[in-house]
């Protein structure tokens, strides 16, 4: 088997199994959920309740770098260059990609009408591998998280300390 076929198989298998990919064009890389469909990673975003794609340099015809992590260990497996194509709503390619995306979309507020909303308000992108794999860099690539209005910190419930102490008493 030639190296390019091996590389293509690595890209496909790693990207299929990973829940997130890191996409980088102009600025820092951003983690995005995707599905692997017909030889490319497909994304949906930029609409209400969907992942933000604005500001990433994901314009039609752009080139980006996609990094895939290991699902079990979380380490980088492969970085591959991709060509971005924005799929036109209602086209055959859009319908096929959206069918796959809809099947994998978790917790959609309007699950039965999500494709209609995506056609009206969102962008569906196809990231197709283009070129040789990038060498994985030595060292860490950690960076500060991007600013976001999302938060998970909330006050703890008043009963929680009692519940935790009760669990310790039972163990003794």
At residue 100, the pLDDT reads 92
* Model pTM score: 0.75
144 vs 127, which has greater pLDDT? 127
Domain count across the chain: 1
Residue 169, in any domain of the structure: no
Is residue 143, in this structure, part of any structural domain at all? no
In-domain check, residue 40: yes
What's the whole-number mean pLDDT along residues 15-31? 86
Beta bridge partners of 81: 65
**Could you read off the pLDDT of 67-77 as tens digits, one per residue?**
998 877 777 88
CATH code for the domain in which residue 114 is found: 2.30.110.10
CA atoms lying within 13 Å on the CB side of residue 115: 16
Q: Which domain holds residue 93?
A: 3-138
């Amino acid at each position: 088997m030639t190296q390019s076929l091996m590389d293509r198989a690595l890209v496909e298998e790693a990207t299929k199994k990973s829940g997130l990919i890191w996409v980088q064009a102009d600025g820092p890389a951003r983690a995005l959920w995707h599905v692997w469909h017909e030889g490319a990673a497909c994304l949906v975003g930029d609409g209400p309740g969907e992942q933000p794609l604005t500001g990433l340099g994901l314009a039609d015809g752009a080139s980006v770098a996609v990094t895939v992590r290991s699902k079990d260990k979380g380490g980088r497996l492969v970085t591959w260059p991709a060509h971005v194509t924005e799929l036109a709503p209602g086209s055959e390619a859009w319908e096929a990609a959206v069918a796959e995306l809809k099947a994998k979309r978790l917790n959609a507020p309007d699950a039965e009408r999500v494709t209609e909303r995506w056609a009206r308000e969102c962008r569906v992108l196809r990231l197709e591998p283009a070129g040789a794999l990038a060498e994985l860099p030595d060292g860490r690539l950690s960076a500060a998280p991007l600013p976001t209005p999302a938060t998970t910190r909330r006050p703890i419930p008043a009963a929680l300390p009692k519940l935790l102490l009760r669990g310790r008493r039972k163990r003794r």
